[in-house]
């Protein structure tokens, strides 16, 4: 447990987190935290922010799935490619 002092930050109050807390949570300056209040105090939890690059980097041959056959095109996609009576491709709604 660590004791910290609140500081003035413009019209707000700021809280500096000790390095061991930041390291333990895996956060850095600019990270987002969810704040919840209960009868005993305040709880800070890191927000899971995902990036496409981060997600794609976890793809391996072992966890990659094959293609999925969704069947014959239906609805808007199926009609959009049809030719009208004049022979030109036109969108039919």
Return the CATH number at 24: 2.10.260.10
The answer, as to whether pTM is greater than 0.75, is no
Judge whether 60 lies within some domain: no
Judge whether 78 lies within some domain: no
Closest by CA to 13, choosing from 51, 54, 42, is: 42
The pLDDT value recorded for residue 59 is: 93
Judge whether 42 lies within some domain: yes
Judge whether 83 lies within some domain: no
Are the beta carbons of 17 and 4 closer than 8 angstroms?
yes
Judge whether 17 lies within some domain: yes
Judge whether 65 lies within some domain: no
Helix (H) / strand (E) element for 69: namely none
- Give pLDDT tens digits for 4-21: 999 998 999 999 999 999
Structure tokens at 88: 């030109």
Structure tokens at 58: 């976890």
Judge whether 38 lies within some domain: yes
Q: Measure the CA–CA gap between 44 and 46, rounded to whole angstroms.
A: 7
Q: Measure the CA–CA gap between 46 and 23, rounded to whole angstroms.
A: 12
Q: How many domains is the chain partitioned into structurally? A: 1
Give the domain range for residue 39: 6-46
């Amino acid at each position: 447990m660590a004791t910290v002092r609140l500081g003035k930050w413009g019209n707000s109050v700021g809280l500096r987190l000790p390095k061991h807390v930041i390291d333990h949570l895996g956060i850095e300056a600019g990270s987002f935290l969810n704040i919840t209040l209960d009868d005993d105090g305040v709880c800070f939890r890191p927000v899971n922010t995902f990036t496409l690059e981060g997600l794609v980097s976890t793809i391996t041959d072992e966890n990659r799935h094959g293609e999925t056959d969704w069947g014959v095109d239906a609805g808007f996609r199926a009609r959009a490619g049809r030719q009208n009576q004049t022979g030109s491709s036109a969108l039919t709604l």
